[in-house]
Amino acid sequence: MTQFKTLDDMPQEIGGKRVLVRVDLNVPMADGVVTDRTRIERVVPTISELSRRGGKVILLAHFGRPKGKVVEEMSLSPVAQALEEELDHRVDFASDCIGEAAKKEIDEMTSGDVLLLENTRFHPGEEKNDPDLAKAMAANGDMYVNDAFSAAHRAHASTEGLAWLLPAYAGRSMQAELEALEKGLGAPAKPVVAIVGGAKVSTKIDLLQNLVKKVDALVIGGGMANTFLAAKGVEVGKSLCEHDLADTANAIMSEAASAGCAIVLPVDGVVAREFKAGADSETVDIENVPADAMILDAGPATVEKINGWIDHAATLVWNGPLGAFEIEPFDAATVAAARFAAEQTVAGKLVSVAGGGDTVAALNHAGVADKFTYVSTAGGAFLEWMEGKELPGVAALSA
Ligand code: ADP
Ligand code: MG
């Protein structure tokens, strides 16, 4: 893993220093009110610590996709208020992230103050990683902290360009994420088992190829398992299946064989004729899927097999549900495996790291998200990390 600097490497005396902090404040909002404060809660420790240490804390963040123009509805100003409540500390707001508007507010700051700057994506240079924009941002700071892992897969001015212009450090939330990911795939306790599920192989080819080189067993579930089964000649009926990716699936299976990674595929499935809640369903052996039916979940024998691998594992990395978990009863396999992994984790027998939009929703649905070692809410950045890619925002924090 890239070695990175943290707030512990920062000079202890930061009284009066201007600290630019990149945070993720891309929160769900309705009618100008923040409806979910999870992301705000995650950046509180870093902001509080820097403020307590006497820094002038200047926050940079994006919101939505204004595409380089000022879009009133995508102003961060309503977020300042929610942040103020979570921090229990006054938060001022500047109507631009660079230039006179920012400078005027920053000049008025004293030690410990917190200021939120307007949406970085109001400038076209943000997503283009324009060096001039990064320089204009750097002019307002003495040091830089990145606490937004979820934006670290993008080389943007505020996430990457700026980091090279000032002494740069990982914030507490970024640090926690990187340390958890290191335990998951960087230097994991062995054996390592990965579960990859979800809808399609096509969105996860890079991820599967990276995992077979790193893990001892790869469990393939969800809709994408059908593509692998079909590639092996199993009839999958009307199931979601990318028949055109048979060669890709076979290549991944042979790479796994030469790397000594076991591939674990479903041995039974829950099938239905309709994709809706409470649809008539039955469990069949994977060899006996009716031609007019769809596999919508893994069956109990498959769950038993997966739990056997979880039992054997010291580390579990998980992305993608084992079935169409949004619709009952097709959530059963995902819920059962998630609960078993949670149990093993709580018992101290397993390090469990999971991530992905639907995966987080599935673990919440199973009621176990807080029992896993770490659940990443980072989405795209988490997937790119699972693909083994270097994240530009993290590379720029290298020690
Ligand atoms: P994540 O967002 O965690 O990366 P994905 O987006 O890859 O996960 O996959 C989640 C989707 O996969 C869910 O919408 C789920 O309904 C779907 N899915 C899982 N198994 C099946 C299946 N057997 N048939 C159809 N869709 C499935
Ligand atoms: Mg998804």
Query: Per-domain residue ranges for the chain?
Result: 7-174, 188-386
- At 25 the pLDDT is 96
112: left (phi over 0), alpha (psi -120 to 50) or beta: left
List C-alpha distances in Å: 181 to 9, 139, 316, 375: 21, 33, 11, 10
Is 295 close to ligand 1, i.e. is its CB under 6 Å away? Answer: yes
Give the start-end residues of each E strand in 221-299.
262-264, 268-272, 281-285, 294-298
Token representation of residue 262: 């076991």
Is 357 close to ligand 1, i.e. is its CB under 6 Å away? Answer: yes
Q: How far, in Å, is the centroid of ligand 1 from the Cα of 196? A: 10
Task: Tell me which ligand sits closest to the C-alpha of residue 198.
Answer: 1
Instruction: Say if residue 66 is preceded by a cis peptide, omega within 30 of 0.
Output: no
Cβ 326 vs Cβ 249: under 8 Å: no
For the chain, 399 residues long, the average pLDDT of each consecutive 10-residue run is 87 94 95 90 97 97 97 96 96 98 97 98 98 98 97 97 98 95 92 97 94 97 98 98 97 98 98 93 98 98 98 97 96 98 98 95 97 93 92 91
Cβ 212 vs Cβ 260: under 8 Å: no
Note residues around ion ligand 2 (Cβ under 5 angstroms): 357-358
Cβ 93 vs Cβ 116: under 8 Å: yes
Residue numbers annotated as active site: 39, 200, 357, 380
- At 32 the pLDDT is 87
- Of 251, 217, 210, 196, nearest to 387 by C-alpha is 210
What's the CATH class of domain 188-386? alpha beta
Same fold for the domain at 7-174 and the one at 188-386? yes
- At 99 the pLDDT is 96
**DSSP annotation string for 161-197:** IGGGTS-EEE-HHHHHHHHHHIIIIISPPSSEEEEE-
Task: Output DSSP code: residue 390.
Answer: P
Which single residue is written with the structure tokens 């549900």? Answer: 321
Integer Rg of the chain from CA: 23
Give the pairing type, strands 56-60 and 91-94. unpaired
- Nearest atom, ligand 1, residue 199 CA: 12
Q: Which residues, in sequence order, are CB contacts of 291 under 8 Å at separation 6+?
A: 235, 237, 238
Q: How far, in Å, is the centroid of ligand 1 from the Cα of 323? A: 6
Chain centre distance of CA 76: 22
- At 129 the pLDDT is 98
Choice from 276, 281, 358, 376 to test ligand 1 binding pocket (greatest atom count within 8 A of CB): 358
Q: How far, in Å, is the centroid of ligand 2 from the Cα of 359? A: 7
* Host H or E run for residue 117: strand 114-117
Rounded to the nearest 10 degrees, how much is the dihedral formed by the CA atoms of 341, 239, 387, 366? Answer: -30
- At 379 the pLDDT is 87
Homologous superfamily assigned to 7-174: Phosphoglycerate kinase, N-terminal domain (3.40.50.1260)
Q: Would you say how long the chain is, in residues? A: 399
- At 398 the pLDDT is 87
302: left (phi over 0), alpha (psi -120 to 50) or beta: alpha
The rounded distance, in Å, linking the Cα atoms of 183 and 189 is: 7
Beta bridge partners of 115: 58, 92
- How many helices (H) and strands (E) the chain has is answered by 14, 17
- Nearest atom, ligand 1, residue 297 CA: 23
- Nearest atom, ligand 1, residue 198 CA: 9
Helix 77-87 vs helix 38-52: crossing angle, to nearest 10: 70
- At 1 the pLDDT is 59
Q: How far, in Å, is the centroid of ligand 1 from the Cα of 324? A: 6
